[in-house]
Structure 1
Amino acid sequence: MAKITASVYTSHVPAIGAALDSGKAGEPYWQKVFSGYDYSKKWNKDNIPDVVFLIYNDHANAFSLSLIPTFALGTAESFPIADEGWGARPVPVVKGHPELASHIAQSLIQDDFDITIANELPVDHGLTVPMSLMFGEVDEWPCYVIPLHVNVVQYPVPSGARCFAMGKAIRRAVESFDQDLNVHIWGTGGMSHQLQGARAGLINEKWDNDFLDELIAEPEKLSKKPHLEYVEEAGSEGIELVMWLMARGAMNLEKEPIVKHRFYHVPASNTAVGHLILEDGI
């Protein structure tokens, strides 16, 4: 059967992609950010999965305000890179795994999770920036990717508890697939940041690191954190962190995870960068 063996958590700051694409990664400001992923690239090369199940949010590129699914699962053979207004990022087209994606869709819907099936889905920096951070500059991505969009842009948005429960259902779906596949699950977005209003530029380092502590050790408790706390403490865009709870819910919750890497840095553009790699406990 297929197995989820590890999870990755990372911010998906668009300016990170711009820095990579314009050759600024070695500049002092950005080098401090990218150094936090040196270990991650090595770990990834030593632990290449067959499939990455990547949880992200679209930023009005695949979906507009006229149609916003709460959850949209990509089931296509490939996913083109979206033009976000300044041209598509110069990265490879993302290769999908339609068989596993369709199986997960079937399992989730039968498990009473209402999701939208996306047979066509352009993917933006929410997905490509984490791929670049973890795999570096490549001619083609070394594994298949199944994208799952979560609406954390337009209210109402799903709760942390709903995302955590869906992560558990994703694990059940993967483990019922009859091919021998090694699957990693990634939760992206965050950490604390606010892009508009009187609190634009807000970063809450203590809250972010407390979140990382709880994500590792007390995810069930963390999943009950109310939306209002995310907004008050982590800024309006801090709600993206519910996507990390989905990835954590897909891990083996009966054992303590193995923390392979932890990184936190302020600032990157106008946000805090957080990053974790967890492996299933033995």
Structure 2
Amino acid sequence: MAKLTAGIATSHVPAIGAAIDLGKTEEDYWKPVFDGYRWTREWQKEQAPDVVILVFNDHASAFDMNIIPTFAIGCAEEFQPADEGWGPRPVPKVEGHPDLAWHIAQSCILDEMDMTIINQMDVDHGLTVPLSLIYDQPKAWPVKVIPLAVNVVTYPPPTGNRCWVLGEAIARAVESFPEDLNVQIWGTGGMSHQLQGPRAGLINAEFDQAFLDDLTADPERLRYLAHKEYLVESGSEGIEMVMWLIMRGALGKNVRELHRHYHVPASNTAVGHIVLEKE
């Protein structure tokens, strides 16, 4: 049977992707950001997952105001890097795992979770930057990826509890898949940041660190954190952190924190990263 073994959470700042693509990772400004991922890169070589369920949000690349799915699972054979206005990132195409993706979709829908099934979708920096942070610049990604897009752009986004419950449903789906697979789930986005208005540039390190603490120490608090609190404390884009709760819900009650990294600033945002192992 397939086994869900670990979870990774990370910011997906687009400028991080540009720094990798342009060879700037050793520059004074960017080096502290990337140094925090060195441990995870080595650990990931040992883990060698077969599939990553990668939770991210689209930034008007695959979806627009005409179609706004709350949860959309990619079931295609492959996904191309999106053109976000300056051409696609120079990264490999993303290879999917249709059999597991369709199984998760079916299992979650029959488990009373409303999922949108996507068979064609270009993926933007929300998905490709996390892959680059963990796998650098390979000719082909060494893992198959199931994209799970979450609406955190247009109000109303899902609640933290709804994300957590979806994570639990995904875990049940993975564990009922008959093929022997090592599966990880990643949550991406955040941490605190605001890109527009009078509070543009807002970073709340205290809120971010408390969020990282409670992923292991008190996840129940995070399940019921209100949308308004995300907005007030972490800026208009801080709501992306609810996607981390899909990852956390999938890992079950007991987890072990293996690694943590937090750095400010990276293109006027806070970069957060954590690695959790299922016990």
Measured against the shorter chain, the TM-score band is over 0.9
Distance 2:252 2:46 in 1: 21
Q: Which residue of 2 aligns with 1:248?
A: 248
Q: Which residue of 2 aligns with 1:124?
A: 124
SS at 1:206 equivalent:
helix
User: In the alignment, residue 152 of structure 1 is paired with which amino acid?
Assistant: V
Match status 1:259 vs 2:257: yes
Q: Which residue of 2 aligns with 1:159?
A: 159
Equivalence map 1:196-211=2 (5 Å): 196-211=196-211
Q: Which residue of 2 aligns with 1:138?
A: 138
User: In the alignment, residue 277 of structure 1 is paired with which amino acid?
Assistant: V
Q: Deviations over 1:227-266 (max 9, x none)?
A: 000000000000000000010000031x2x1211100000
Distance 2:252 2:43 in 1: 20
User: In the alignment, residue 142 of structure 1 is paired with which amino acid?
Assistant: P
Q: Which residue of 1 aligns with 2:271?
A: 273
Q: CA deviation at 1:104?
A: 0.2
SS at 1:46 equivalent:
helix
Q: CA deviation at 1:137?
A: 1.1
Q: CA deviation at 1:270?
A: 1.1
User: In the alignment, residue 86 of structure 1 is paired with which amino acid?
Assistant: W
Q: CA deviation at 1:65?
A: 1.2
User: In the alignment, residue 92 of structure 2 is paired with which amino acid?
Assistant: P
Q: Deviations over 1:73-103 (max 9, x none)?
A: 0000000000000010000000000000000
Distance 1:217 1:4 in 2: 21
Q: CA deviation at 1:216?
A: 1.4
Q: Which residue of 2 aligns with 1:230?
A: 230
Distance 1:75 1:220 in 2: 31
SS at 1:164 equivalent:
helix
Distance 2:31 2:105 in 1: 39
User: What is the aligned-residue RMSD (CA, Å)?
Assistant: 0.6
Match status 1:170 vs 2:209: no
Match status 1:39 vs 2:39: yes
Q: Which residue of 2 aligns with 1:66?
A: 66
Q: Which residue of 2 aligns with 1:109?
A: 109
Q: 65-74 vs 54-63, which deviates more?
A: 65-74
Distance 2:266 2:211 in 1: 19
Distance 1:91 1:105 in 2: 27
After TM superposition, the score normalised by the length of structure 1 is 0.98
After TM superposition, the score normalised by the length of structure 2 is 0.99
User: In the alignment, residue 175 of structure 2 is paired with which amino acid?
Assistant: E
Q: CA deviation at 1:33?
A: 0.5
- Runs of at least 5 residues in structure 2 that lack an aligned partner in the other structure: none
Distance 2:226 2:57 in 1: 19
Q: CA deviation at 1:220?
A: 2.1
SS at 1:270 equivalent:
coil
Distance 2:97 2:139 in 1: 19
User: In the alignment, residue 22 of structure 1 is paired with which amino acid?
Assistant: L
Q: Which residue of 2 aligns with 1:7?
A: 7
Distance 2:221 2:210 in 1: 12
- Runs of at least 5 residues in structure 1 that lack an aligned partner in the other structure: none
Distance 2:3 2:220 in 1: 21
Match status 1:93 vs 2:93: yes
Distance 1:222 1:58 in 2: 23
Distance 2:32 2:159 in 1: 33
Distance 1:167 1:258 in 2: 17
Q: Which residue of 2 aligns with 1:221?
A: 221
SS at 1:236 equivalent:
coil
Distance 2:221 2:264 in 1: 26
Q: Which residue of 2 aligns with 1:180?
A: 180
- The percent of aligned pairs where both chains have the same amino acid is 62
Q: CA deviation at 1:221?
A: 2.3
